[in-house]
Amino acid sequence: MTTLAEVRASLIGPGGAFEVVTEVIDGHELRVYKDRLPSLRSVGEIAALRGDEQPFIVYGDRRIGFSEFFALANSVSATLRDQFGIGHGDRVAVLSANNPEWCLSFWGTVDIGAVLVGLNGWWKTDEILYGLEDSGAKVLIADAKRFARITGEIDGLESLERVYLVDVDPADCGS
């Protein structure tokens, strides 16, 4: 009988499908996968090559293909960077149901080197406010249902500069 240790060694040991090696990264010795992609951006580049024949995300009746998803994610990156002034190390919080916009927010944020702060959609008002304040998020991307929990409370958040609602038509918000 094969032991768990033997299975593990065959997977991450020399020649294994997930071989682990030690490398110095930014002055720190870390254990990493030998044949990993060089960056998260590479995942997007490879996925986009698959085109749109197969769906990348299925959400209700929506179907988003691979290249369409990464084109949309790149537009999120550009908006965060060019219109919102978000850059490397800045925090972008997401408070939304699991939906394509959540995924786009993630990819768009990490693509420009910013840090995604995922806020729990089940949190109550004080927990959401704490998460926003503690993280120092400059931008909040939210759906209307979850944003309604904090609408009257966000003025006191010093670091929060912008809120973007993913499921609201700007024309419905007035001036």
pLDDT in tens, 43-52: 878 887 888 8
Which residue numbers in the chain have pLDDT < 70?
173-175
Q: Does 150 lie in the same domain as 68?
A: yes
Q: Mean pLDDT in the chain? A: 92
Q: Does 29 lie in the same domain as 88?
A: no
Query: Which ranges of 13-124 does DSSP label H, i.e. alpha helix?
Result: 40-48, 66-78, 100-111
CA distance 79 to 58: 24
pLDDT score at 173: 64
pLDDT score at 61: 96
Q: Does 64 lie in the same domain as 27?
A: no
- What would the pLDDT profile of 17-31 be if each residue is shown by its tens digit? 999 999 998 899 999
Q: Does 103 lie in the same domain as 23?
A: no
Q: Does 87 lie in the same domain as 29?
A: no
Structural domains counted in the chain = 2
- Report in angstroms the alpha-carbon separations of 44 from 18, 50, 98, 104: 21, 10, 20, 12
Q: Does 120 lie in the same domain as 99?
A: yes
Which 8-state DSSP code applies to residue 141? E
pLDDT score at 88: 95
Q: Does 149 lie in the same domain as 76?
A: yes
Q: Does 57 lie in the same domain as 29?
A: no
Find the domain containing 28 and state its range: 4-33
